[in-house]
Amino acid sequence: MSQVKKNVAQFDQDVLNTGSYRYTTDRVSSNLANARISAAVAASFPFPGSRVLDLGCGDGAYTLEFAALGVAEVIGIDPAAAAIEAARRKAIEHGLQDVARFQTGNIYDMAAYLAANRFDCIVLRGVLHHLPDPAKAIAALTGFDGTLVIIEPNGLNPVLKLLEKFSAYHVEHEERSFTPMQIRAWLQAAGFSRMFTTVINLVPFFCPDTAAKALRLAEPIVEHLPLVRQIACGQNVFVARR
């Protein structure tokens, strides 16, 4: 199986067309969904003063958020060259180029980045479901001794499964989702034995504004209903350590 999917070119084209990814555009549903996911990332690790590796950073929109969390350094890695250029421009526009740096790179070859235990935390936010071999990507982190934070679409959500099959955007970007059991198995195989998992976010990306606002009001309740949240919520959160 090829280790570079054609969706890398699609993501590059998205940036060339609009300057960013569709998930980071300014619309109500995206803003609400991203805010909830960012809050979960912020709560997952004590970021002040830490060194963070953001794998699959895309256009850098999420990577730059780590500066507000007080990190000493964050490095964003992505195979899409146009996205990396956009991320660098954003860092300069926000005056964050000394904290946030971006490089094109191969997620399956992390040895140089993991040398000398340079990073305290590695974050993969919405990355695995775009990869040709997500298990191999996690296996490439076998030597990492810090905390690994993974945010992935909830593979138990039936609406998401329909979108993956019939939504033109999801098909073009080769999106798929995995069950929490699958991801935990990949983490265990890579030597991560201590794991915290949960599900969050009731607001789908790209849904109508009225629906997004109503779902946000219901979200705190749904996130605390054990069986309901496993199906209804949109993202799984994994925090893993050795």
**In which band, very low, low, confident or very high, does the pLDDT at 174 lie, cut at 50, 70 and 90?**
confident
Strand partners, 157: none
Q: Diameter of the chain by CA atoms?
A: 49
Q: What pLDDT is attached to residue 205? A: 87
Instruction: Give me the half-sphere count of Cα atoms (radius 13 Å) on the Cβ side of residue 86.
Output: 25
Instruction: Give me the half-sphere count of Cα atoms (radius 13 Å) on the Cβ side of residue 9.
Output: 4
In Å, how far from its chain's centre is CA 225? 24
Give the residue with greater pLDDT, 174 vs 96: 96
Q: Do 30 and 23 contact (CB within 8 A), yes or no? A: yes
Q: In the predicted model, is pLDDT for residue 1 greater than 50?
A: no
Domain boundaries, the chain: 7-241
Q: In the predicted model, is pLDDT for residue 108 greater than 70?
A: yes
Mean confidence (pLDDT) of the chain: 90
Lowest mean pLDDT among 99-108, 146-155, 166-175, 197-206: 166-175
**In which band, very low, low, confident or very high, does the pLDDT at 143 lie, cut at 50, 70 and 90?**
confident
Q: What is this structure's pTM?
A: 0.90
Q: Which residue in the block uniquely carries the two structure tokens 């619309």?
A: 27
Q: What pLDDT is attached to residue 7? A: 53
As a whole-number percent, the residues of the chain with pLDDT over 70 amount to 89
Q: What pLDDT is attached to residue 105? A: 94
Q: What pLDDT is attached to residue 54? A: 98
Q: What pLDDT is attached to residue 11? A: 55
**What mean pLDDT is predicted for residues 127-152?**
95
CATH superfamily, domain 7-241, is Vaccinia Virus protein VP39 (3.40.50.150)
Q: Which residues contact 190 (CB under 8 A, 6 or more apart)?
A: 138, 139, 141, 142
